[in-house]
């Protein structure tokens, strides 16, 4: 029953793994501003550069990605400070402070609110920023309430609904500290009513704060009512991903109310909407929650049907999931911005070096020598990084190759109407997949984990070809299976070849032996079978099979080459037909690595 989360982990590994909760608009806005930034850099317009950084930060801030917004606000602020652009210093300092406050970075937030107050051109803005600095720095609840109330009055007069909603929410925090629950509820509702008109992201945050408030006070009916109100908002109804999230949160409230039936109904709706709109993460979350509820009620049949349904619809779901594409666009855009900054730094450095050359030929020569050294080291680092990326890519490529071969076995059991064997095989396969996914992110893994994976794999193949072979795994007692490190998924393709291209073609039962022995400072691995052999296997291949390129073994040999280049592993691999008897002999050796 663990197969779903393993498949999802596999999906993320293919598509690049890191995921933000950004909307399509965020990726598009950042991409648009990156073009303006490039133009500003080319024209050496620092003010325009700062404006672009600020706009990018705003996109992230409005989408709730506060760490990224902080990063770009700081870049904008540094340039505005350099230009002594006081109005923009005030603006960006306040937004930076708000971003840091969202992340509970109180000390830098106080500093930036104070900087905004210092740069303010009007008494009102100076007062607002000073009040916020005081609010964060004081321990007196009465003083906090006083400055917040002052900000509420200023915001109402200036008709600044964004700051007004934030002030109401802050006042609610003070009310909670003062144990004034009715007043806290009133202020949270006021904050929501104001923010829903102008700032959807802020409204969602305040709504969540309000429902959490109700739940903490055991007022589940009001929490449910508040969540249902949010579901009616256009900024939720028009955003299917957010709608799914809100439905799931509503289900959580029903669970806390001990209304399991209502929670299951809502989670089913969330799952259905996720499939329809192509939201992989949200669908996974719904399935996991439903599975846990089925487990509590011991409804195994419903859980199995749910997993089968999800696995069957997974390819179509991924094809519709725009967040994977948008995330890639955003990552590429940020990479271009980073590269642009590096290019700008390099241009500035070249100008500086040119000036040095005009004053002193010797100085210029020294700079050139230094530059050559830097470039050489950079190229060396890039080469190593590229090799690591290639190794990672090959490691990820092994997973789909291995998964699809294993799923063929499941398909065989199903095709032969052997449902019991198929279910048993799926259970073993899910355990094996957990091991494969957990070990897929590292170049080297503990020997015991690799050994467990190989044992599980051979047990699966034994289930598939029960009348074709027996097997034995021999481990040298001198090997420390806990501290020894080995390359993951390096041996499995050789075992797969032995079973699929050798042993399964025997007329009677064959034998496969896997051995691990310590040879001085090296690990010696042997794989021996009495299958039909390499040459006979080639003869038995169809023309279609001959035309197809075997990626499994080619991938493994490429990984061996990269591991030798990167880690000086001295991995050697020899594959031969046995001389005096039928079968294949594989010998692999490499240096021992301990934790």
DSSP output for 382-436: HHHHHHHHHHHHHHHHHHHHHHHHHHHHHHHHHHTT-HHHHHHHHHHHHHHHHHH
Q: What ranges do the domains of the chain cover?
A: 385-594
C-alpha 380: how far from chain center? 28
How would DSSP label each residue in 430-441? HHHHHHHHHTTT
**According to the model, what pLDDT value does residue 67 have?**
92
Find out whether 589 and 519 touch, Cβ atoms under 8 Å. Answer: yes
- φ/ψ of 322, rounded to 5, equals -70, -25
**According to the model, what pLDDT value does residue 13 have?**
46
> Which H or E run includes 57?
helix 46-62
**According to the model, what pLDDT value does residue 90 have?**
92
- Give 168-227 pLDDT, tens digit per residue: 888 888 888 888 989 988 988 888 888 888 888 888 888 888 899 899 999 999 999 988
**According to the model, what pLDDT value does residue 89 have?**
93
Contacts of 167 (CB under 8 A, 6+ apart): 148, 151, 152, 155
- The closest alpha carbon to 76, from 104, 36, 19, 129, belongs to 36
Q: Model pTM? A: 0.51
**According to the model, what pLDDT value does residue 387 have?**
47
**According to the model, what pLDDT value does residue 442 have?**
77
Which tokens go with 471? 């097997």
**How many other C-beta atoms can be found within 10 angstroms of the C-beta atom of residue 165?**
25
* Per-residue DSSP letter, 180: -
Domain spanning 385-594, CATH architecture: 2-Layer Sandwich (3.30)
User: Which of the residues in the chain have pLDDT under 70?
Assistant: 1-25, 319-332, 340, 344, 347, 373-376, 378-406, 409-410, 417, 435-441, 541-552, 595
- Give 433-470 pLDDT, tens digit per residue: 776 666 666 778 889 988 988 898 888 888 878 788 99
What gap in Å lies between CA 277 and CA 282, rounded to an integer? 10
């Amino acid at each position: 029953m663990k197969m779903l989360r393993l498949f999802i982990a596999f999906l993320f590994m293919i598509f690049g793994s890191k995921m933000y909760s950004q909307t399509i608009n965020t990726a598009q806005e950042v991409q648009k501003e990156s073009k303006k930034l490039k133009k500003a850099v080319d024209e050496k317009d620092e003010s325009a550069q700062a404006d672009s950084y600020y706009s990018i930060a705003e996109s992230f801030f409005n989408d709730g990605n506060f760490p990224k917004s902080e990063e770009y606000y700081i870049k904008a602020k540094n340039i505005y400070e350099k230009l002594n652009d006081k109005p923009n210093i005030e603006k960006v300092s306040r937004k930076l402070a708000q971003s840091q406050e969202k992340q509970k970075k109180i000390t830098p937030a106080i500093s930036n609110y104070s900087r905004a107050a210092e740069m303010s051109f009007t008494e009102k803005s100076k007062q607002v920023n000073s009040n916020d600095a005081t609010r964060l720095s004081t321990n007196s609840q009465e003083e906090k309430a006083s400055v917040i109330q002052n900000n509420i009055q200023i915001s109402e007069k200036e008709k600044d609904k964004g700051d007004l909603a934030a002030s109401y929410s802050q006042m609610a925090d003070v009310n909670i500290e003062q144990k004034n629950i009715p007043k806290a509820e009133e202020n949270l509702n006021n904050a929501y009513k104001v923010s829903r008109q102008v700032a959807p992201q802020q409204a969602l945050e305040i709504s969540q704060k309000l429902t959490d408030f109700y739940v903490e006070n055991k007022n589940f009916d009001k929490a449910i009512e508040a969540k249902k109100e949010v579901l009616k908002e256009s900024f939720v109804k028009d955003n299917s991903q957010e709608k799914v999230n809100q439905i799931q949160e509503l289900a959580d409230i029903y669970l806390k109310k001990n209304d399991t039936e209502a929670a299951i109904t809502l989670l089913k709706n969330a799952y259905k909407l996720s499939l329809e709109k192509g939201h992989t993460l949200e669908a996974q979350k719904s399935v996991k929650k439903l599975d846990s509820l089925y487990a509590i009620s011991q409804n195994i049949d419903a859980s199995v049907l749910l997993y089968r349904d999800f696995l069957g619809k997974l390819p179509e779901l991924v094809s519709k999931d725009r967040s994977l594409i948008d995330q890639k666009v955003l990552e590429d855009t940020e990479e271009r911005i980073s590269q642009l900054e590096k290019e700008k730094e390099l241009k500035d450095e070249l100008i500086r070096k040119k000036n040095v050359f005009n004053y002193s030929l010797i100085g210029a020569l020294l700079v050139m020598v230094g530059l050559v050294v830097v470039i050489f080291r950079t190229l060396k680092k890039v080469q190593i990084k590229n090799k690591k990326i290639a190794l990672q890519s090959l490691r990820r490529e092994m997973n789909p190759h291995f998964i699809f071969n294993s799923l063929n076995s499941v398909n065989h059991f199903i095709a032969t109407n052997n449902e019991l064997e198929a279910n048993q095989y799926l259970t073993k396969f899910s355990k094996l997949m957990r091991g494969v996914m957990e070990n897929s992110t590292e170049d080297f893994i503990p020997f015991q984990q690799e050994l467990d994976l190989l044992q599980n794999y051979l047990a699966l193949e034994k289930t598939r070809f029960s009348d074709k072979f027996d097997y034995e795994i021999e481990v040298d007692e001198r090997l420390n299976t806990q501290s020894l490190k080995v390359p993951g998924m390096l041996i499995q393709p050789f075992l797969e070849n032995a079973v699929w291209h050798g042993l399964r073609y025997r007329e009677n039962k064959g034998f496969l032996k896997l051995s691990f022995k310590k040879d001085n400072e090296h690990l010696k691995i042997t794989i021996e079978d009495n299958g039909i052999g390499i040459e006979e296997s080639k003869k038995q291949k169809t023309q279609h099979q001959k035309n197809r390129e075997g990626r499994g073994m080619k991938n493994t040999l490429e990984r061996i080459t990269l591991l030798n280049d990167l880690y000086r592993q001295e991995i050697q691999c020899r594959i031969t037909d046995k001389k005096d008897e039928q079968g294949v002999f594989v010998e692999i050796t490499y240096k021992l690595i301990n934790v």
